[in-house]
Amino acid sequence: MKYASVIRILVTRDLVMRYKKSVLGIGWTLLNPLLTSFVLWIVFSFVFSGKLPNNQQYAPYLFAGIIFHNFFSQGVVSAAESIAGNSAILTKIYIPPQVFALSTALAQFVHFLIGFLPLGLVVYISGSRISIFMPLSIILGLLMVMLISGLGLILSIVFVRFDDMRNIVNVMLLIIFYLTPVFYPITALSKNLQKIINWNPLNSFLECFRWAFSNNSSASLLDWLYISGFSVLVFIFGIYIFKRYWLNIVVML
Amino acid sequence: MSPIISVQDVSLTYRILVNRSNSIKELFKETLHGRVRIRDFTALTNISFTVERGDVLAIVGRNGAGKSTLLKVLAKVLPPTTGSYTSTGSIAPLIELGAGFHPEMTGSENIEFYSALLGRDLKNIKNRVQHIGEWAGVTSHLDLPLRTYSSGMLARLAFSVATYESADILLVDEVLSVGDAEFRAKSSKRMSDFIAGGAAVVIVSHDLDVIRNLANKVMWLEDGRIKEFGPVDEVLKNYENSFG
């Protein structure tokens, strides 16, 4: 691909800048989700530990949920902002704007892979082992890259046009966080609510990830098919919507 | 020989909300009050022209006449609403040079990224960085972050990257007035070499002397339409008289 080197440089730059800026460097990326999870663990482990099936542990369940959910929410926001953020380039040099959304999503993906280290540690401490299906997590990550890029492209159109859209999106992401079994097991919900949450693609993503990483959940083949189809569709839809409306907003940049 | 740039009946229109606000809340309020009006804004109307290999076309006109918009259409950054634009060969946009420069990254890293953005071949990148840095006169600063550069150094570096190799089409927006006298001479020489090498140039400038020196055709834009198009002396004379 003609723009492969642009993507490579953008991804490296994104990661380098992130670690350069924080005092702890790369340590912070490992520490941040650990701390969040630790707090949630203290608060909720008594409530939810018993609700998980016997062979599953709460700590890796929670931590896997946190890093995967962070991947999603930070990815969507940064991919959506990448278009407006690079307007200086986009209005002077011809380059497909999608390159920026994709690069941002890929940087978040690398970030997510780095999170495997503390997650592995948590799995080990809680006395279970990393599954032989762990490499499937990488495929999950790449599906998530498609989902993030697709959603990011759709939102980027609105982000360019309306300044207050960011706040609305942040609220929606918070709602999504609570509607996704990140820190609670789905069985803690009422039967009716479970039926609805089962349609949440993020729920399937999390189930698959927890299962693939340390066999700490039960994901079905249906979950895999659902998220694959969903991600591919959102990706294609995002590209379509972006192409359709890009011309209307490029003059506003 | 077929023209290297062919613009057929190009118009560029976009819609704007008259009560332009950047917030959904405001838009919602105004919609309720029925105060939202959409207006079409026309930046370019029925532009047609061709440029041949070795041509230097200068675009003149008052501020807001659509010169830069037309240049952006030629750079394929803005797509025309109607009409067609075709070009053959590579395009080097020398429009507000240095888009994509990052202040925290070093000179070398910025050279690499800017070259990649312009679609240049990044094989042998070390050699490229070295030559570009040398030509811009910033060799000793290449490993320092860009924020430590003076504005003159930035401009020279950007020009050096963008013109490291010639393209078939050069789009120039007032960038020849970069740097000190010595660098101006150096950059003018590079441009002349490119022109002599058969590149087509489209240049937007308010400096009529530069145009008389370089161009062989002039387009006079007014309110997004071509007012006159033809040989340099003739069009520039009418253009200057219009100020009177």
Q: What CATH number corresponds to the domain at position B213?
A: 3.40.50.300
Cross-chain Cβ contact A9/B77 below 8 Å: no
- Reduce the DSSP state of residue B185 to 3 states and report it: helix
CB-CB contact of B216 with B232 (8 Å): yes
Question: How confident is the model at residue B215, as a pLDDT?
Answer: 87
A4 touches chain B (CB under 8 A): no
CB-CB contact of B108 with B133 (8 Å): yes
Most trustworthy range by pLDDT among A40-49, A54-63, A140-149: A140-149
A205 confidence band (pLDDT: 50, 70, 90): very high
Query: Does residue A19 have a pLDDT over 80?
Result: no
Mean pLDDT of B42-46: 89
Query: Does residue A152 have a pLDDT over 90?
Result: yes
B184 confidence band (pLDDT: 50, 70, 90): confident
B91 confidence band (pLDDT: 50, 70, 90): confident
pLDDT more than 90, % of chain B: 26
Distance CA A212, CA A207 (A): 9
Query: Does residue A103 have a pLDDT over 90?
Result: yes
Cross-chain Cβ contact B113/A13 below 8 Å: yes
Per-residue model confidence as pLDDT tens digits over B114-148: 999 888 888 888 899 999 999 988 899 999 999 99
A25 confidence band (pLDDT: 50, 70, 90): low
Backbone angles phi, psi at B219, to 5 degrees: -115, 130
Nearest to A95 among B43, B117, B122 (CB): B117
N residues, chain B = 244
Range of the structural domain that residue B112 is part of: 5-241
Cross-chain Cβ contact B117/A88 below 8 Å: no
> Structural domain tally of chain B?
1
In B, which residues are within 8 Å of A90 by CB distance? 77
Cross-chain Cβ contact A163/B23 below 8 Å: yes
Nearest to B99 among A9, A93, A247 (CB): A93
pLDDT more than 70, % of chain A: 96
Nearest Cα of chain B lies from the Cα of A54 at a distance, in angstroms, of 49
ipTM summary value? 0.82
The three state secondary structure string of chain A is CCCHHHHHHHHHHHHHHHHHHCCCCHHHHHHHHHHHHHHHHHHHHHHHHHHCCCCCCHHHHHHHHHHHHHHHHHHHHHHHHHHHHCHHHHCCCCCCCHHHHHHHHHHHHHHHHHCHHHHHHHHHHCCCCCCCCCCHHHHHHHHHHHHHHHHHHHHHHHHHHCCCHHHHHHHHHHHHHHCCCCCCCHHHCCHHHHHHHCCCHHHHHHHHHHHHHHCCCCCCHHHHHHHHHHHHHHHHHHHHHHHHHHHHHHCCC
Query: Does residue B228 have a pLDDT over 70?
Result: yes
Question: How confident is the model at residue A206, as a pLDDT?
Answer: 95
